[in-house]
């Protein structure tokens, strides 16, 4: 069995120090000892804050933010998918997830490929799309990475599974307009749609999926809908953070993935 921890919270806009301290408190107070992987949300250190992205991006190694997370990985002896930070290389900005092992080493990073440029989204005006999908061997499993809007692209997931992914991890800041967030009926519909997408991608590929979202109002226009989940290959939701902040844990059995791969050649079916 492998222990997975999702950390769902509402970042304080533009305050990296405050947000990193929150994450450390969550890990310090986490009651589960068996931590093989910790997952953080998209934009975990800044919130959705365009000024932070443009005025103080991280360097190609993730800057002080990823250095801090690397120290946490060593301290708590766990692998971490460090949500995303905005990373600058030359004159380009990327929305980047860093994957860190138990020794605090960056073993790879994924730059978001599918940027959100729809229904008022302007991510592509500031951010350059990545051009490389990645799967990474951790000490307990092979994982593939997506970020937020990548979930809309089934072939992104399929290609990760073809590369041997047993777990697909999706840091996200999945938002809805505030008029939906404050309407209980409309919010439930949006959350149901989000849950359905995650379960569908999981069942299509017969892997574990871990989606880690923010929660709460981001600005005067949008709010994040929470529902960070750990889902089994049979689409059973093992953990759902719903509308709460905190740490959300589940044990997963990777033998289930191996079993289904042995009877359904999903990676070979187009």
User: Please, where are the H alpha helices in the chain?
Assistant: 16-29, 50-55, 63-75, 123-126, 154-162, 178-181, 184-205, 254-263
For range 130-156, the mean pLDDT: 97
Judge whether residue 175 has pLDDT over 70: yes
pLDDT digits (tens, 9 = 90+) for 10-56: 999 989 999 999 999 999 999 888 899 999 999 999 998 877 777 78
- Indicate if the alpha-carbon torsion angle 152, 46, 97, 82 is positive or negative: negative
Token pair of 176 as six digits: 């809805």
pLDDT digits (tens, 9 = 90+) for 180-190: 999 999 999 99
Cβ atoms 240, 6 nearer than 8 A = no
Residue entry with tokens 């222990």: 3
Query: Three-state SS for 38?
Result: strand
* First-last CA distance in the chain: 31
pLDDT confidence of residue 51: 75
Domains and CATH numbers, the chain: 2-260 (3.60.110.10)
Cβ atoms 160, 144 nearer than 8 A = yes
């Amino acid at each position: 069995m492998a222990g997975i921890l999702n950390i769902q919270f509402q970042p304080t806009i533009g305050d990296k120090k405050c947000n990193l301290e929150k994450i450390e408190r969550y890990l310090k107070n986490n009651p589960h000892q068996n931590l093989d992987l910790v997952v953080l949300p998209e934009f975990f250190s800044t919130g959705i804050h365009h000024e932070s992205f443009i005025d103080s991006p991280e360097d190609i190694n993730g800057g002080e933010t990823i250095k801090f997370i690397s120290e946490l990985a060593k301290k708590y002896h766990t692998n971490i998918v460090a949500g995303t930070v905005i990373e600058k290389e030359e004159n380009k900005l990327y929305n980047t997830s860093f994957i860190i092992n138990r020794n605090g080493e960056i073993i790879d990073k994924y730059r978001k490929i599918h940027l959100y440029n729809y229904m008022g989204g302007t991510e592509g005006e500031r951010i350059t799309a990545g051009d490389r999908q990645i799967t990474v061997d951790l000490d307990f499993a092979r994982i593939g990475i997506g970020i937020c809007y990548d979930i809309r692209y089934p072939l992104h997931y399929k290609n990760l599974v073809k590369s041997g992914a047993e777990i697909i991890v999706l840091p996200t800041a999945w938002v809805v307009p505030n008029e939906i967030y404050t309407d209980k009926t409309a919010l439930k519909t949006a959350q149901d749609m989000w849950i359905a997408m995650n379960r569908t991608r999981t069942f299509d590929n017969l892997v574990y999926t871990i989606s880690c979202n923010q929660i709460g109002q981001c600005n005067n226009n949008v709010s994040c809908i929470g529902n960070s989940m750990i889902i089994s290959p049979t689409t059973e939701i093992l953990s759902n953070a719903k509308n709460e902040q905190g740490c959300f844990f589940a044990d997963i059995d990777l033998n289930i993935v191996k079993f289904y791969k042995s009877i359904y050649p999903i990676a070979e079916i187009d």
